[in-house]
Each structure stands twice: as C-alpha cells, then as structure tokens.
C-alpha cells in the first residue's frame, strides 16, 4: 500500500526544486521553434484572488502542453504597478505608494508561486521602476518627434473623486469613472494626446489574428468608421470670413429634406453667426451646456433642446433658406460639429422639429406613402420624392447619385468619419510615468533630451488630492533649465495613463534587462509577436486596442518590426461568488484562494477551477464541488502507486486490448480538448479513463505492458493540469526527472476505432431498439436486422414501411405511414 497523498508536502518540495533548476527558464538560443505564451499581468492590488487563479491556471496548462509538444516556450510574468490605488492608499493610510506597491509585489509573487505555474521569473517586469518607465519616456519622445504625441486644449473628462482626467475608454456607459464610479464632468485643460485615430483604419483590420469574434466586433464598434459625404451649405450672410457651414452626413439622399441646421454649442461659428436679438438666449444656452456633465448631455432620454441663432444658410439643391440652430445633441468632437437636420428621416431631428415647429419635408417615401405627413421619422430605405431630378430613385442609389452630383459641383466630397478619439494620456496624479517635457518661457514645449532619461519620480512628495499633480508642488522636480537655451524652465508635472505601461510590456519581456533601448531587436525578432494571449474580456476596447496601436507606432518609429502584438487571443470568463454576484468584500462572498490551496492543494484547486465549465464562460464559484476533484486525485494516487511494479500473474489478451484502446482513445480526446482549451471536458475524459482503469484493476492486467502504458499516459496527460502530483508519481514510478520535460503522448488511430458499434433502431424517429453489431456492417445487412427486430415489429403494428434511412455506424430509422 502506498502512503497517503499529501499535497502540501509534495507541492512545496517540487516548487522549490523547479525554481532551483530553472526548469521553466526560456533560453534565447534554443533552436526549437518558439512559442510565446502570455497571460495578462496582474495589477499590484495586494492579494491574489480567485479571478487570478481562474485566469492563470488554465494558461499554465496551455504552456505546459506546448512545452511537451516540443516548443521552446516563453511564459513571462510581471506586475502592472503604477496607478491610483497606490496613491489612494498613501493618502488614506500614510504609506508611500512605492512602499505599498513593492510590498504588494512581494506578497503577490509569493502567492503566484504557490500555483505551481511554469512562469519564467527571470524575465519579471515591474512597471513602476525606472528601469521600465524610462522606456515609456523614450517611446513618448520618439512619438513626439514624429508628431504622434501632441498637446492640445480641450474639454477633458474629469473625475472629481480621482482628481484627474480620464481617457474616453475609462468612462462607463453610465458616464461614471470606470474606477470609482463617480459621475464624470468636463474640464478645459491642456493635455497630451497620442494619435491613435491616425491608425484607425489599420486597427480595423484584424486579418491574421485568431481572436474571438465578439472582441473584434467590439473594437470595430468602438472605432466606429462610417462612410458619408462632407457637404457645404453657403451662409446667407456674406460679410463673414467663413462663407459656409460644413457638415458630415451618411444620408446625402435626404439632402432635399434639410429644413434646419444644428451647430454644436461649442462650434466656432456660433459666436459669429448669432444675431444681436438672439445673443442673450444663445449665450445662456451655451453656458448651460458647458455646465452639464457628459452623462446629462448624452442621455438619449433627455428632451431635445436648442435655440435659434437668427442666422440662415442655403440648401443648394432645394434653394431654400435653412435656419441655423444650436443644440446640445450636436457633438463638437464628431464630424464637423454641425448637422444637416432632416426631420422626416432622423428621429432626433424629428423630435427637435416637432418641438420648435420646424417644417418636416418627406423626401424618402415609406411603402404605401400617400403624400401625407409622417407620425414619426422614417429612417428605412425607400423611394426618393420631392427631390427634383432624383425623384424615383431608390435611396441607396440616390446616396451615390447625390454624392456624385455634389462632388461634380465642387460642393462636397466623399469621406469617412470615426467615433474613436485620440488617446488622452495626461493624468494629474503622482504614481505614474513622468511625461518627459519641459516648458520654457522662450522655447515653449521642449522635449527632454534622451540622454537625460529617466526622469525619475521623486520620493519626497506630499499627496494632496488638489486636482493638480503633486509633482507641481515639488520644487526640486518642477524647476529645471531649458535644454535648448538654458534659462529657467519648468517640467511637465502630469504623469502618463497607466495603460501606456501595459501597451508594450509584452515587448519588454523579450529582453527585460536590455539597457540601451526599450527592446533588443534580436530578442524581439525571436520572440514577438505573442503566439497566445489570455485575459479578461473587460480589456477588449482599452488595453487590447492601445497595445495594438502602440506596436504599430513602435514599428513606425523603427523600434520593432511586427505589426500586431497578439496573434491568438482567448478571453476567459469572469468568476463570480457562490451567489452568482461579483466577488466583493462588501458582499462578503469572496473566496480566498490561499485557504483553498491550504486545504486541498494547488493541483486540486487548479483542476476544480477548470472543471467548473468552459473557460470562456466563467460563472459562480461554489466550493462544495471541490471534493469531487479531491477524491479523484486520491484515486489517481492509489491507482498509479498500488500496482505499478507488479509483475503479470497471467495474461488476458482481451482485457489488455481493451485497456490499450481506452488509453489511445483518451489520448486523442485529451489532445483535442487541450488544443481548444476545453479543460472541463478534458478532465471528464481523464476521470472516465481513471474509472475504467479502476474497474479493470484486476489480476489479469496489472504488470502488463498495456497497464504500464495506460498509467504512464494518465500521468503525462494529467501533468499540465496537476503538475505537482504527476511529478511525484512520475518519480515514484521510477521515471527520470522531470515529467514536465517529457513528450506529449501520441495516439494510434487504429486503436481508437471500435470493432463493435451500437446500432440504434428508430421507428418514425423514436428509439425502439439498440443492437450491437460489427462496425463494418453493410447498409443492407443493417436494414435487414433492424427490420427483423421484435421490438420494431411490435412498433410497426402491421403498418406499411414507407422508407428505411441508414446512417452508417449510427442508426436505422424505419419510416411507416
């Protein structure tokens, strides 16, 4: 009898051994094909939770499988360690952000190691250290040189609680801060932007990427490219510098229906166009709009409001005078900030026209239209009417015809518009990468010379959430000399959005200690792009879009040669508390992984997480089921050790053959499942295999070659899932160290096919009999024995057989009338 399975002892021992041996270190000069596997690095929140395990344990299985398939696998890990929580902890508890963060790194590193993952710790990257963020600064400077980073004043999203600006992507659909759920407002500030919009078309192209369709769809939605025409409407007043209003429209076919014009309240023409009589009202409206938060302004529920400016422009084709309004439903940052309003065919314009008694002219006829007024906007395609020479055209054709006409007349041109906006990276906070820019009274914006990098974050800073960067009050940091002319100048005091850090960390892992640039070109050429990336779907439009942009920008800066960071992407689902709600301390439904590991061992905990269901689905985590995995681990332990060394007492070729078949079928199933990351069914297959071996653990098979092959295969197939117990069993059954350097077992296809099959016999689609027949049965013979079955005869009840369907290897269906 073998001794008891003691996961704690085994796991500690092997983890130490693997670390001492550097078993998982990826060598740059290994000639085998490379495989770069990456799981999203954790933020240094302080504690590893079940979500981390749920994300990382299955990734580790993928890694170990690739290793067994003969790849030179790199699986690095690090810490995303800049960001607000560190600073908030500093303010609340008087700990320095750096201390807080590095303590958390220490703690989380220890917790991560208990998972028994095949991480290559020698490549660890910690983003809050100057060795890393120096390169953020260098890349930023190169972007600045190329015009990819620019400074602009604009209405920035402002979180009053975090006391900083936010990127568009960091605002929830409720208009609140993604981090603290505070209502976001607007502030006019000079800020740094990166030109992600310049890459919009390239970012829309996901060819060559094996990504989940829904993530691609989300990115496409986010970028929001729409085709249309930019057309001009001449102003009635001729005494202004501007002679026309330019608008973007996707519906040029409705241009005869334009009965008013809407400018965004911030539109530069508003001030110039407004007549003296309307001035007061317009100014009041502009003021009111400015005070509204984004959420109030953008709510589709709010009634359309606006005011007339007193000015008119001319609809070139209908020759009509068109009144110009301002309304907050026109957005300054989309298109030209002006809208040609067609109330008959746009729901917003319709509501506005109704409210302010503006004429509604139908120019696209709905089906069966009899020249009557519309009760609501008709936005579907239809036949053009009231549109002079274009009458009778279908609206789709009309779009092209009018676009052509405008282009011929020189009144407009076809173009595209994008929903995505440039990436605002300035943050008025301390714990981030200092933006390497100096403001000189004489030379204005001056980049820090590369030789002066890194601009190091000073430690002795007072954390006062004032809405301005704490760095502004640090005289030693703030004051400097202009690198160009040498006179007294000040530094940029804002820091970079932490998404900058995670936009290229995957590149840094290739050469984490390289000190003459962000990345060693040789190492990058060897390792990048990432072959398989895994992480949560919440990053679909932020991190994943930023990282794609960054790599393309770095390519154009000559820093890397590839264009896409991540070839394959897998999104795991979200793990919830036992109550089906998000795990949170306030709900009291948090499951601590450390406790589970303490109780059941890492192998069991890992496997249980994978057994819950499909990885991309996530779901509630209920600890009660873990005993099933625990019991199974014990069964495997006993099964392997009890009879491994026995010698065959006598042989039974039938049982041996059936064991061999079970083995090869299991290898096949396991391989197919692991390739598709279907760990739940993979585990089910291994359990079935274990059950079958337990049943046949009889005197006739133990000690035979087939028996050994079965147990060896079981250990090897289980090795990626449960690395510790399998390493221990592998050693105890007299194999060499390490099971994690063995080859993945191969299956013999001829051993996976059955000689006997169950032929299902149906009558009118209902199962009436099951017959055990030879797999090589002919169609005629199968039909014959099916019809001969007593049960079929009984079901026929003397009625006429109309047809007999045969599906090879599966069933016979007798159709009767």
Q: Name 806's Cβ contacts closer than 8 Å, sequence gap at least 6.
A: 779, 782, 783, 812, 813
* In the complex, least distance from residue 578 CB atom to RNA, rounded to whole angstroms: 10
- Closer to RNA by Cβ: residue 95 or 796: 796
Q: Find the distance separating the first CA and the last CA of the chain, reported in whole Å.
A: 64
Among 306, 764, 218, smallest CA distance to 545 is for 218
Q: What share of the chain is helix, strand, coil (3-state, %, to 5)?
A: 40, 20, 40
* In the complex, least distance from residue 813 CB atom to RNA, rounded to whole angstroms: 4
Calculate the CA 434 to chain-centre distance. Answer: 27
* In the complex, least distance from residue 585 CB atom to RNA, rounded to whole angstroms: 19
Among 114, 123, 24, 21, smallest CA distance to 66 is for 24
- Residue 616 to residues 13, 498, 676, 678, Cα–Cα distance (Å): 32, 26, 11, 9
- Closer to RNA by Cβ: residue 111 or 643: 643
> How many CB atoms neighbour CB 487 within 10 A?
11
Cα–Cα distance between 58 and 23 in angstroms, integer? 19
* In the complex, least distance from residue 229 CB atom to RNA, rounded to whole angstroms: 8
Structure tokens at 306: 């606006």
- Closer to RNA by Cβ: residue 530 or 814: 814
- Closer to RNA by Cβ: residue 452 or 672: 672
* In the complex, least distance from residue 247 CB atom to RNA, rounded to whole angstroms: 7
- Closer to RNA by Cβ: residue 121 or 334: 334
Cα–Cα distance between 328 and 349 in angstroms, integer? 12
* In the complex, least distance from residue 147 CB atom to RNA, rounded to whole angstroms: 24
- Closer to RNA by Cβ: residue 240 or 807: 807
- Closer to RNA by Cβ: residue 363 or 493: 363
Are 327 and 305 within 8 A, CB to CB?
Answer: yes
* In the complex, least distance from residue 436 CB atom to RNA, rounded to whole angstroms: 31
- Closer to RNA by Cβ: residue 147 or 765: 765
- Closer to RNA by Cβ: residue 478 or 787: 787
Cα–Cα distance between 15 and 601 in angstroms, integer? 13
Structure tokens at 119: 């991480």
Are 587 and 577 within 8 A, CB to CB?
Answer: yes
- Closer to RNA by Cβ: residue 58 or 529: 58
Peptide bond between residue 170 and the one before it cis (omega within 30 degrees of 0): no
Q: What is the DSSP letter of 653?
A: H
* In the complex, least distance from residue 91 CB atom to RNA, rounded to whole angstroms: 28
- Closer to RNA by Cβ: residue 204 or 443: 204
β-bridge partners, 165: 158
- Closer to RNA by Cβ: residue 456 or 767: 767
- Residue 401 to residues 317, 567, 619, Cα–Cα distance (Å): 13, 42, 52
Give counts: helices (H), strands (E), the chain.
25, 29
Q: What is the DSSP letter of 510?
A: T
Tokens 């041109």: give the residue.
413
> How many CB atoms neighbour CB 352 within 10 A?
23
- Closer to RNA by Cβ: residue 78 or 337: 337
Residues in the chain, total:
817
* In the complex, least distance from residue 269 CB atom to RNA, rounded to whole angstroms: 13
* In the complex, least distance from residue 608 CB atom to RNA, rounded to whole angstroms: 8
* In the complex, least distance from residue 682 CB atom to RNA, rounded to whole angstroms: 10
Structure tokens at 122: 């020698």
What is the DSSP secondary-structure string of 766-785? EEEEEEEEETT--HHHHHHH
* In the complex, least distance from residue 236 CB atom to RNA, rounded to whole angstroms: 21
Cα four-point dihedral sign 687, 689, 695, 699: negative
Q: Name 329's Cβ contacts closer than 8 Å, sequence gap at least 6.
A: 262, 304, 306, 348, 352
- Closer to RNA by Cβ: residue 380 or 462: 380
- Closer to RNA by Cβ: residue 267 or 508: 267
Q: What is the DSSP letter of 42?
A: P
- Closer to RNA by Cβ: residue 179 or 562: 179
* In the complex, least distance from residue 300 CB atom to RNA, rounded to whole angstroms: 5
Among 512, 567, 503, 564, smallest CA distance to 534 is for 567
Cα–Cα distance between 481 and 377 in angstroms, integer? 62
Q: What is the DSSP letter of 127?
A: T
Cα–Cα distance between 404 and 107 in angstroms, integer? 65
- Closer to RNA by Cβ: residue 108 or 342: 342
Q: What is the DSSP letter of 231?
A: E
* In the complex, least distance from residue 166 CB atom to RNA, rounded to whole angstroms: 12
> Would strands 566-572 and 530-536 be described as parallel, antiparallel, or unpaired?
parallel
Among 685, 693, 751, 696, smallest CA distance to 718 is for 685
* In the complex, least distance from residue 693 CB atom to RNA, rounded to whole angstroms: 11
β-bridge partners, 481: 488
* In the complex, least distance from residue 805 CB atom to RNA, rounded to whole angstroms: 4
* In the complex, least distance from residue 517 CB atom to RNA, rounded to whole angstroms: 34
- Residue 264 to residues 247, 305, 699, 780, Cα–Cα distance (Å): 11, 12, 86, 78
Q: Is 204 exposed, middle or buried (0-12, 13-18, 19+ CB in 10 A)?
A: middle
- Closer to RNA by Cβ: residue 46 or 614: 614
Calculate the CA 28 to chain-centre distance. Answer: 29
* In the complex, least distance from residue 501 CB atom to RNA, rounded to whole angstroms: 21
Structure tokens at 215: 């993530």
């Amino acid at each position: 009898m073998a001794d008891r399975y003691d996961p704690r002892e085994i796991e500690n021992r092997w983890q130490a051994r693997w670390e001492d041996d550097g078993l998982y270190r990826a060598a740059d000069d290994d000639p085998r094909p490379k495989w770069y596997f990456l799981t999203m690095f954790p933020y240094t929140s302080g504690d590893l939770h079940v979500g981390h395990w749920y994300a990382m344990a299955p990734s580790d299985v993928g890694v170990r499988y690739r290793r067994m398939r003969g790849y030179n696998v790199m699986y690095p890990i690090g810490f995303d360690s800049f960001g607000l929580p560190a600073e908030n902890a500093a303010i609340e508890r008087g700990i320095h952000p750096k201390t807080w963060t590095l303590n958390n790194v220490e703690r989380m590193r220890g917790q991560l190691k208990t998972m028994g993952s095949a991480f290559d710790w020698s490549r660890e990257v910690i983003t809050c250290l100057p060795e890393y963020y120096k390169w953020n600064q260098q890349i930023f400077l190169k972007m600045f040189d190329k015009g990819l980073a620019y400074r602009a004043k604009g209405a920035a999203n402002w979180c009053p609680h975090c006391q900083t600006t936010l990127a568009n992507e960091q605002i929830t659909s409720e208009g609140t801060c993604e981090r603290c759920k505070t209502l976001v407002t607007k502030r006019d500030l000079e800020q740094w932007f990166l030109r992600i919009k310049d890459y919009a078309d390239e970012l829309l192209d996901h060819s060559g990427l094996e990504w989940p369709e829904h993530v691609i769809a989300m990115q496409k939605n986010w970028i929001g490219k729409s085709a249309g025409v930019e057309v001009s409407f001449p102003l009635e007043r001729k005494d202004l510098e501007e002679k026309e209003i330019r608008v973007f429209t996707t519906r040029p076919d409705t241009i005869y229906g334009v009965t008013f014009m809407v400018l965004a309240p911030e539109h530069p023409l508003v001030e110039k166009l407004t007549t003296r009589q309307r001035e007061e009202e317009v100014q009041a409206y502009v003021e009111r709009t400015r005070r509204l938060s984004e959420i109030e302004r953008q709510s589709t529920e709010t009634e359309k409001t606006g005011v007339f400016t007193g000015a008119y422009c001319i609809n070139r084709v209908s020759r009509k005078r068109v009144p110009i309004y301002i309304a907050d439903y026109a957005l300054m940052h989309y298109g030209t900030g002006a809208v040609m309003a067609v109330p008959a065919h746009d729901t917003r314009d319709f509501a506005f026209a109704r409210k302010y008694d503006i004429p509604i002219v139908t120019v696209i006829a709905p089906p069966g239209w009899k020249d009557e007024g519309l009760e609501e906007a008709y936005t579907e395609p239809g036949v053009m009417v009231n549109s002079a020479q274009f009458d009778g055209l279908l609206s789709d054709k009309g779009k092209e015809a009018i676009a052509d006409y405008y282009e011929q007349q020189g009144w407009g041109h076809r173009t595209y518009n994008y929903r995505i906006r440039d990436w605002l990276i300035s943050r008025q906070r301390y714990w981030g990468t200092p933006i390497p820019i100096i403001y000189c009274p004489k030379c204005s914006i001056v980049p820090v010379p590369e030789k002066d990098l890194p601009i190091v974050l000073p430690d002795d800073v007072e954390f006062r959430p004032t809405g301005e960067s704490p760095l502004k009050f640090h005289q030693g940091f703030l004051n400097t000399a202009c690198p160009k002319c040498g006179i007294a100048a000040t530094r940029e005091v804002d820091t970079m959005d932490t998404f900058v850090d995670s936009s290229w960390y995957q590149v840094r892992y290739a050469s984490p200690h390289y000190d003459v640039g962000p990345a060693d070109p040789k190492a990058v050429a060897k390792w990048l792009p990432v072959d398989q990336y895994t992480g949560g779907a919440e990053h679909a439009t932020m991190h994943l879009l930023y990282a794609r942009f960054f790599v393309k920008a770095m390519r154009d800066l000559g820093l890397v040669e590839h264009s896409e960071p991540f070839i394959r992407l897998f999104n795991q689902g979200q793990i919830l508390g036992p109550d089906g709600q998000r795990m949170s301390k306030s709900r009291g439904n948090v499951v601590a992984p450390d406790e589970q590991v303490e109780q059941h061992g890492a192998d069991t905990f890992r496997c249980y997480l994978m057994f819950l269901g499909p990885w991309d689905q996530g779901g509630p985590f209920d600890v009660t089921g873990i005993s099933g995995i625990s019991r199974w681990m014990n069964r495997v332990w006993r099964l392997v050790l009890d009879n491994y060394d026995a010698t065959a007492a006598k042989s039974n070729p039938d049982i041996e053959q059936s064991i061999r078949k079970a083995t090869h079928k299991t290898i096949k199933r396991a391989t197919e499942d692991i390739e598709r990351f279907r760990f739940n069914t993979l585990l089910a297959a291994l359990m079935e295999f274990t059950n079958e071996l337990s049943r046949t653990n009889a005197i006739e098979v133990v000690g035979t070659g087939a028996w050994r092959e079965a147990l060896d295969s079981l250990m090897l197939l289980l090795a990626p899932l449960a690395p510790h117990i399998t390493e221990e069993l592998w050693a105890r059954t007299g194999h060499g160290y390490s099971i994690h350097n063995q080859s993945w077992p191969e299956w013999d296809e001829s051993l996976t096919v059955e000689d006997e099959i169950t032929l299902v016999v149906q009558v009118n689609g209902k199962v009436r009999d099951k017959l055990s027949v030879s797999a090589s049965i002919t169609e005629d013979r199968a039909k014959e024995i099916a019809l001969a079955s007593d049960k079929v005869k009984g079901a026929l009840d003397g009625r006429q057989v109309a047809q007999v369907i045969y599906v090879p290897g599966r069933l016979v269906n007798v159709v009767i009338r």
